[in-house]
Amino acid sequence: MKKLNLYLLRHGKTLANEKKLYCGFTDLPLSKKGREELASLKEKISYPEAEKYFTSGALRANETIGILYENKEFEEVKGFFEYNFGDFEMKAYEDLRENKDYINWITDESLNFKCPGGESKAEYRKRIQEEFIIFIKNIKDANSALLISHGGTIGTILEEFYDNTKSFHEWQPSYGRGYKLELEILKSEFKILNVREI
């Protein structure tokens, strides 16, 4: 048995975040405001160092690591990319509220309704679950690792693997913030022992 500290951080803001648009697979850069907010957070927060650094491969995640951890080498883990909203990408609630497919998607309790051209909530959860299990296996020999990804990704990891009494929406950190996870690594499995806000 060994312990592993895993830090999960959310990328900085994009224009889509500022305009409250659905943005998952659309590969936007950080906005001017997003960059400024990260630079300000970096002065206020003692961001953790880690042995290994990772991102989801999204431009907004890669630019975030460049601001918070200048010149650190990192690997991309594309399975941690945000939800694929398909035809709803880059649209606001006001654009979609009368769309039949959108209504079906937001009211679907089975989680199996697909965004047209995108994925269902069930598919997304399964993707994040499977990717996280593989990810932990790949980093289990390290003492610490850091991943910069997305609100939905982080929220899903914590809901699925730590505490499902809080929804993934409730677990989502604000931009540039995140969590420190303390994991116990056993031979063929792992357990998240504790979660603390960064």
pLDDT tens per residue, range 61-116: 999 999 999 989 999 999 999 999 999 999 999 999 999 999 999 999 999 999 99
pLDDT tens per residue, range 130-155: 999 999 999 999 999 999 999 999 99
Helix axes 121-139, 151-161, angle to 10 degrees: 80
pLDDT number for residue 130:
98
What is the side-by-side strand order in the sheet with 2-10?
75-76, 52-55, 144-149, 2-10, 178-185, 190-197
